[in-house]
């Protein structure tokens, strides 16, 4: 079932012989995705992105990556009774020859480790955000230095509140990541609802109205009508864009273009209105 989602890789699609990887490898296992695909360790990828990109690009990439991983987790949850985890060591970044990059989540069956039970899914997301934004928050799992929150309690991962507080909400993307972390830590018993809400926040921020447009719509007396107009206009713009876009541009951002089209085709005025309430209340 894993192969049915673009961001989940089947645990069977692995091998250990370095000479079969066409020069691509990670610190864990070599993974065959496509013959011309570069495979990059999750932490290494974000370190490199910070060194060569501005803050805006990094924050938008973090939102897009987290949205894809949450979508993959929901897919696994729907097809498996086991609660999915988004541990950094289960995620690799794949960079195509077209320069398009996206994450691949290896299901739980690939890695069995006692440390998996030390945190929650919400803790995983908080840790991923910390890695992607390179936040100065001490983590305490794996090879990181351990610390004690008091004389008797050891914390394996930083709490979501710490991660959320460490995010500098200077853009719509960083504010969205902060809200997504807080949303997932609100109520662990409502896993599906919290993950879906976080995904809605991310997709709205990536492909929905701009922050200024959303704020104006949120305080408008005719919010539903305004969102209906926005949807109609944006769908027309996308169709016009697809009619004239060059094939090279489609191949370079094909997955995101498909995700954007899916978002616009499935979005409703009421659904967008609910997300604006999550964002601005």
C-alpha to C-alpha distance for 110 and 139, rounded to whole angstroms: 23
Entry field: residues in the chain: 281
The answer, yes or no, to whether residue 277 has pLDDT greater than 70, is yes
With both helix axes pointing from N to C terminus, report the angle between 55-79 and 172-184 in degrees, rounded to the nearest 10: 30
Say whether pLDDT at 205 is over 90. Answer: yes
Note the pLDDT tens digit of each residue in 115-170. Answer: 556 678 999 999 999 999 999 775 444 333 333 333 333 445 556 778 888 898 88
Three-state SS at 60:
helix
Higher model confidence: residue 280 or residue 112?
280
Q: What are phi and psi of 262, to 5 degrees?
A: -65, -40
Give pLDDT tens digits for 236-247: 998 888 777 665
The 8-class DSSP code of residue 105 comes to E
The pLDDT of residue 58 is above 90: yes
Please name which of 74, 100, 84 lies closest in space to residue 195, comparing C-alpha atoms.
74
The 10s digit of each residue's pLDDT in 15-54 is: 554 444 444 445 555 555 555 567 888 999 999 999 999 9
* In the chain, where the domains are located: 2-207, 208-281
Cα(194)–Cα(76) distance, integer angstroms = 16
**pLDDT exceeds 90 at position 56:** yes
pLDDT score, position 176: 94
The CA–CA distances, whole Å, from 185 to 107, 121, 175, 235, 239 equal: 22, 9, 16, 34, 38
């Amino acid at each position: 079932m894993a192969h049915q989602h673009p961001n989940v890789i089947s645990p069977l699609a692995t091998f250990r012989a370095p000479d079969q990887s066409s020069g691509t490898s990670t610190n864990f296992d070599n993974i065959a995705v496509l013959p011309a695909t570069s495979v990059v360790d999750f932490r290494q990828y974000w370190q490199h992105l910070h060194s060569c990109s501005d803050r805006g690009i990094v924050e938008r990439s973090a939102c897009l990556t987290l949205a894809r991983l949450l979508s993959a987790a929901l897919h696994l949850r729907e097809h498996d009774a086991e609660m999915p985890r988004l541990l950094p060591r289960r995620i690799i970044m794949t960079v195509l020859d077209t320069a398009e990059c996206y994450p691949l989540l290896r299901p739980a069956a690939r890695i069995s480790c006692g440390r998996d039970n030390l945190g929650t899914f919400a803790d995983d997301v908080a840790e991923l955000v910390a890695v992607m934004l390179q936040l100065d928050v001490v983590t305490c799992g794996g090879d990181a230095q351990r610390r004690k929150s008091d004389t008797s309690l050891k914390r394996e991962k930083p709490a979501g509140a710490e991660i959320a507080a460490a995010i500098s909400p200077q853009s719509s993307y960083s504010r969205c990541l902060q809200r997504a972390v807080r949303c997932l830590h609100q109520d662990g018993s409502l896993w599906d609802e919290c993950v879906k809400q976080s995904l809605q926040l991310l997709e709205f921020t990536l492909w929905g109205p701009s922050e200024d447009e959303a704020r104006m719509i949120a305080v408008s007396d005719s919010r539903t009508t305004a969102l209906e107009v926005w949807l109609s206009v944006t769908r027309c713009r996308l169709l016009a864009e697809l009619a004239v876009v060059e094939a090279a541009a489609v191949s370079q951002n094909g997955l995101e273009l498909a995700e954007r089209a899916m978002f616009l085709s499935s979005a409703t005025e009421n659904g967008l209105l609910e997300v604006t309430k999550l964002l601005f209340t």
